């Protein structure tokens, strides 16, 4: 997850703040119903998040004497610690995810498809569980919701999980059989960074790795490879921390040099005082010699 600002069925899997609040309250020993009252949310909404957090491996459930307890796993604690320390700065928005399933056995129960006229052919499009489903000649395609978070690989797993759950529903509801899924097109991992936000106002760019434009109303960098996105995020997050560490080290060095400089000033002041004292003693010795002559 690493913040999963996810949109399941057009409902926001909230922001990192909401996820952090739920994790912190669970870690403090609160149960979901109480968390719902504290945060002003419905019980179903909180249990929805709890289910997703369990699936991610951030929390575990344990039943003792017919009482259910939730606790954070080490993975959940690590994530919460990163959020608290502000390690994650960039949110990735995964969109344009379409999963295709070959039709192994045609539906036995008629499906109320809606016929959509395109430029030079027609397609059958329907809605199921809040998602768009498109019927092709020998396959169906499921259009996944957008999902936001910090780990591109986990976001892609979320999208596939969403599509697979809907595929199971379609198989059971319409008595059909679908084959193994695959991506129908390149998924887009959108990142908003300061440079892209500025350049997106003046130019568009596209190649095999991604594109840059203002298609969503604000300059975004759309990348296609999740590992490339992860490397980008590591660079984006690590470099500022390195800079901050160097700034701290330079600040410490500056303080040391200031102390050293102050010590040197005191040392030079003492040397000047000794030189003046030595000169005064020499003058006295010269006067005594003159008096003895």
| Co-location of 213 and 265 in the same domain | no
> Which of residues 147 and 267 earns the better pLDDT score?
147
pLDDT of residue 185: 92
| Co-location of 100 and 216 in the same domain | yes
7: confidence class by pLDDT, cuts 50, 70, 90: very low
Q: Is the residue at 21 inside a domain? A: yes
pLDDT tens, position by position, 190-224:
887 666 665 656 666 677 777 776 666 566 778 88
Q: How much is the mean pLDDT over the chain?
A: 78
Question: Whole domain around residue 126: which residue ranges?
Answer: 92-234
| Co-location of 31 and 163 in the same domain | no
pLDDT of residue 40: 78
| Co-location of 145 and 56 in the same domain | no
| Co-location of 148 and 226 in the same domain | yes
Q: Is the residue at 286 inside a domain? A: yes
Q: How many domains does the chain have?
A: 3
Region 182-190 average pLDDT: 92
| Co-location of 280 and 229 in the same domain | no
| Co-location of 230 and 138 in the same domain | yes
pLDDT tens, position by position, 154-180:
889 889 988 999 999 999 999 999 999
pLDDT of residue 293: 63
Question: With 60 as the cut, is the pLDDT of residue 240 above it?
Answer: no
pLDDT of residue 100: 96
> Which of these three, 84, 101, 130, is where a domain ends?
84
| Co-location of 47 and 99 in the same domain | no
Q: Is the residue at 279 inside a domain? A: yes
CATH of the domain at 36: 1.10.10.10
pLDDT of residue 247: 59
| Co-location of 45 and 167 in the same domain | no
Which residues make Cβ contacts (< 8 Å) with residue 56, sequence separation at least 6?
Answer: 1, 4, 75, 154
pLDDT of residue 97: 94
Distance of CA 4 to the CA centre of its chain: 7
Q: Is the residue at 1 inside a domain? A: no
> Which of these three, 234, 256, 278, is where a domain ends?
234
pLDDT of residue 250: 66
| Co-location of 102 and 206 in the same domain | yes
Distance of CA 27 to the CA centre of its chain: 21
| Co-location of 250 and 288 in the same domain | yes
Q: Is the pTM of this model over 0.85?
A: no
| Co-location of 31 and 125 in the same domain | no
Q: Is the residue at 26 inside a domain? A: yes
pLDDT tens, position by position, 16-56:
567 778 888 888 888 888 888 888 778 888 888 888 888 88
């Amino acid at each position: 997850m690493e913040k999963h600002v996810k949109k399941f069925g057009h409902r926001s899997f909230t922001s990192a703040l909401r996820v952090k609040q739920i994790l912190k309250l669970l870690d403090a020993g609160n149960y979901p119903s109480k968390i719902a009252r504290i945060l002003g949310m419905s019980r179903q909404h909180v249990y929805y998040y709890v289910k997703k957090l369990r699936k991610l491996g951030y929390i575990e459930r344990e039943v003792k004497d017919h009482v259910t307890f939730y606790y954070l796993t080490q993975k959940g604690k690590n994530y919460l610690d990163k959020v608290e320390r502000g390690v994650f700065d960039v949110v990735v928005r995964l969109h344009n995810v379409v999963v295709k399933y070959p039709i192994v056995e045609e539906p036995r129960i008629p499906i109320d498809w809606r016929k959509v006229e395109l430029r030079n052919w027609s397609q059958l499009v329907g809605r199921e569980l809040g998602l768009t489903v498109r019927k092709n000649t020998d396959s169906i395609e499921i259009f996944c919701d957008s999902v936001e978070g910090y780990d591109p690989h986990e976001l892609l797993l979320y999208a596939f999980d969403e599509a697979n759950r809907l595929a199971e529903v379609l198989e059971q509801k319409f008595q059909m059989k679908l084959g193994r899924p695959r991506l129908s097109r390149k998924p887009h991992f959108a990142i908003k960074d300061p440079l892209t936000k500025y350049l997106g106002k003046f130019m568009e760019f596209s190649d095999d790795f991604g594109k840059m434009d203002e298609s969503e109303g604000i300059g975004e960098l759309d990348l296609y490879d999740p590992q490339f996105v992860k490397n980008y995020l590591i660079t984006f997050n690590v470099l500022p921390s390195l800079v901050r560490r160097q700034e701290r080290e330079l600040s410490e060095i500056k303080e040391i040099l200031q102390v050293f400089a102050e010590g040197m000033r005191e040392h030079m002041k003492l040397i000047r005082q000794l030189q003046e004292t030595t000169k005064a003693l020499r003058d006295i010795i010269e006067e005594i010699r003159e008096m003895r002559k």
